[in-house]
Structures are given as structure tokens and as C-alpha cells.
Amino acid sequence: MAVLASFVRAVSSCIWLGAIVFSIPLAFDVGGRHCGLGFSLALSLFYMFHSILRLATPKRSRVRKILVQVVGTVQWLVIPSLLIWSLAKFSMDAGDDGDKSWVERTIKKAKDQDETLTAWLFGRGGVLESFSIGSWDLLLRYAVPVCQLAEGFCSLLVIQAAGQMTKWVVNTERSVCERKRQEVLNTY
């Protein structure tokens, strides 16, 4: 029974990882840059909430176990829901504003339209949306060198671990062969 549970958990994790890996590029391809950034930001916030929930509650708490399992189960609905939401909210043709930064688009919108303060701050293309997506874009853009260094460091660690495993296997195999040779020599 434990083997079946482990197998189901492994398959479930692979499907979940596939959903994440394929949905982010899909958001960028179908909805454009702002849609992909909005979707990746929403996913990051959801999983940040999930991680904080796991860190902030005691390990043996029943409430934690229930909440973590509910959030873990609901993620199957959250990923497609966030994708659909981001496609509906951020998917639009860039038009003339495509080459401008989020600050220029927000200020231009404030100058061009007579809107209420609430719509300007929280509405579609408002200050809050422009600031959050723009900040996320800058964070991802400037994090690329750090991620590349971390990737290179991790690759080096994997190569070292593979070398040590190979060395251990060779030495273990050699000692097994040596023992068998000694047994054969001792029998004669």
C-alpha cells in the first residue's frame, strides 16, 4: 500500500510540475509579455502564501495539516484559474504603448483620461497593476545573472557528486572482485 501511495505521489508531482512548466510559457506565448509576467507573479504569490503557511504553523498541528493539504489539493484548480485570469486580465495588444516602460504608460494614462482616483489606482492598467507587473519584470530581469551563477555552481556540484559516486562504485567493485579472487585463491 505504501508503494502505491508513493507511486501516486510521484505521478502527481510530475503532472503538477508539467502543469507549471508548460503553463508559464503558454501565458507568455498566448497572452503576451504582461500576461506571462502577471501569471508568474500570481503563481509566485500563491506558492509564497503556501510556504509561509507551512513555516508559520507548528509541524504537529492538526490545523496546519488540514490547511496545507487543502491548499495542496486546491493548487490543481488554482494553476488553471490563475492562467485563465491572467489571460483575461492582461492579454491585450500593446499598441503604441508597447515600447514604453510601465511608468510612462501609467503617467500617460493619468494625463490622457479623466477617471476617478480609484480607477486610476486600481483599475485595468492602473498604478497598482503597472507597478506590480513592472516591479516583477525588473526583479526578474536583474535576477538573471544571479540565477546563471547559481545554475553554474549547482552544475559544478552535480559533476562533483557524479565523480564521487563513480569513484565509490569503482572502488566498491574492485574490493568485491578482490575478495572473490582471494576466496578463489584460498580454496586452492
Q: Is the pLDDT of residue 129 over 50?
A: yes
Mean pLDDT across the chain, nearest whole number?
80
Residue 125 confidence (pLDDT): 66
User: Could you say which of 65, 92, 119 is where a domain stops?
Assistant: 92
Q: Is the pLDDT of residue 140 over 90?
A: no
Task: Indicate the pLDDT class of residue 95, thresholds 50, 70 and 90.
Answer: very low
Instruction: Assess whether 162 and 126 both reside in one domain.
Output: yes
Residue 151 lies in domain = 103-188
* Domain annotation covers residue 125: yes
Q: Say if residue 80 is in the same domain as residue 107.
A: no
Which grid cell is 19?
502543469
pLDDT band for position 3 (50/70/90)? Answer: confident
pLDDT at 4: 87
Give the C-alpha separation, 186 to 180, whole Å: 10
Higher pLDDT, 177 or 21: 21
CB neighbourhood size of 168 (10 A): 10
Burial class (CB in 10 A: 0-12, 13-18, 19+), 82: buried
Task: Select from 70, 92, 114 the last residue of a domain.
Answer: 92
Considering the domain architecture, whether residues 16 and 73 belong to the same structural domain is answered as yes
Question: Which of 58, 55, 31 shows the shortest CA–CA distance to 42?
Answer: 31
Predicted local distance difference test score (pLDDT) of residue 159: 94
Q: What gap in Å lies between CA 142 and CA 91, rounded to an integer?
A: 24
Q: How confident is the model at residue 49 (pLDDT cuts 50, 70, 90)?
A: very high
pLDDT of 100 reads 55
Q: Which amino acid is at 26?
A: L
With beta carbons less than 8 A apart as the criterion, state whether 39 and 26 touch. no
What is the model's pLDDT at position 130? Answer: 73
55-83: average pLDDT: 87
Residue 130 lies in a domain: yes
Question: What pLDDT is attached to residue 107?
Answer: 54
Q: Which amino acid is at 48?
A: M
Grid cell digits, residue 138: 525588473
Sequence-distant (≥ 6) Cβ neighbours of residue 101 within 8 angstroms: 134
pLDDT attached to residue 96: 46
Task: Give the number of domains in the chain.
Answer: 2
Q: How far apart are CA 178 and CA 77, in angstroms?
A: 58
Q: Report pTM.
A: 0.61
